[in-house]
Amino acid sequence: MMQVERKEKLGLLLGLIGVICFSFTLPATRIAVAYLGATVVGLGRTIIASILVTIVLIVRKEKRPSVRQFKSLIIVSLGAVLGFPLLTSWAMESLPVSHGAVELALLPLATAGFAIIRAGEVPSLKFWVSSIIGSLAVIIYAVHLGLGQLQYTDLALLAAVFMLGLSYAEGGKLAQELGSWQVIAWALIITAPFFIVPVFLNVTGEMLHAPLKAWISFIYLAVVSQFLAYVAWYSGMAMGGISRVSQIQYLQPFLMIIFAALFLNESITLFTVLIAVIVVFSVIFGKNATVTKKRSASVKQ
């Protein structure tokens, strides 16, 4: 019993590390897209990351995924490697980080919902209540910043949340059998070849003169956001449970806002702080919520 508790705590810790790493994603994207463009930043990071993971896979002589695992990797790729990076890069061309960040707090609800379908986890009523409280706070915040309505960029971010939620749930389940870092590594390798042409067509000579901060941001997105953060994140979900660890994501948008204030000089309003308190409270409330597994239909009653 103690061993299980230690494993779950380690899972929560790894999940937190992953969230902190992900929290730099939107600020770094905002900086990079201003000089390199959405396509190069959104898809180019995958090409760089795929080179890194290919070397690691070859050195470690990792076994290739099975056909069944390959199908799951396609789902992970569509969300974590294609949809989320590209859609958020496009949105960050016009939205402030504080606007985009709060909408990402819907990720725990999306992840938990897909976890029920893909991983067979059943969150308790307490978990759903905490998730709904946090999500409603995020929606109110987004509509308020959008002057009473959601913009096209908001829809892009919501689509990114939907795709990444499915990817997280599928990747968390697959990590239990394939390995945490192997999930995102193979997903990168599967997807990267399709990105070479569009990235190449969007590369311009002017990009060579981009400031150092743009290239540092791009490298961070490629190495940390697109690979190392996922290693910690998928390991955390595999150890602590997809639904429970996913609640840590409620902290992510507000960490992003803090980083945006520090690195992009975006202001933090009292309303933002109030929403942050509500969301953090929902995390505390649902942190120890019971999560159970669905009984298999094949199990005799």
Report how far residue 72's alpha carbon sits from residue 70's, in angstroms, rounded to the nearest whole number: 5
What tens digit of pLDDT does each residue of 28-62 get?
A: 999 999 999 999 999 999 999 999 999 999 999 88
Exposed, middle or buried by CB within 10 Å (0-12, 13-18, 19+), for 99? Answer: buried
Work out the average pLDDT over 228-237.
85
pTM: 0.82
Angle between helices 152-178 and 229-240 (to 10 degrees): 60
Identify the pLDDT of residue 299: 38
Tell me the average pLDDT across 154-158. 85
Average pLDDT over residues 249-258: 82
For residue 215, the number of C-alpha atoms closer than 13 Å in the C-beta half-sphere is 6
293 falls in which pLDDT band (50, 70, 90)? low
Contact 122, 292 (CB under 8 A): yes
Domain ranges of the chain: 7-290
CB 264 within 8 A of CB 27: yes
DSSP string across 151-192? -HHHHHHHHHHHHHHHHHHHHHHHHHHH-HHHHHHHHHHHHG
pLDDT digits (tens, 9 = 90+) for 165-183: 889 888 878 887 888 788 8
Percent of the chain with pLDDT over 70: 90
What kind and span of H or E run contains 290?
A: none
Specify the pLDDT at position 149: 61
Element housing 97 (H / E): helix 97-103
Contact of 134 with 284, CB cutoff 8 Å = no
Q: pLDDT tens digits, residue range 193-231? A: 999 999 999 999 889 899 999 999 999 999 999 999 988
Residue 286: predicted pLDDT: 67
pLDDT of residue 288: 58
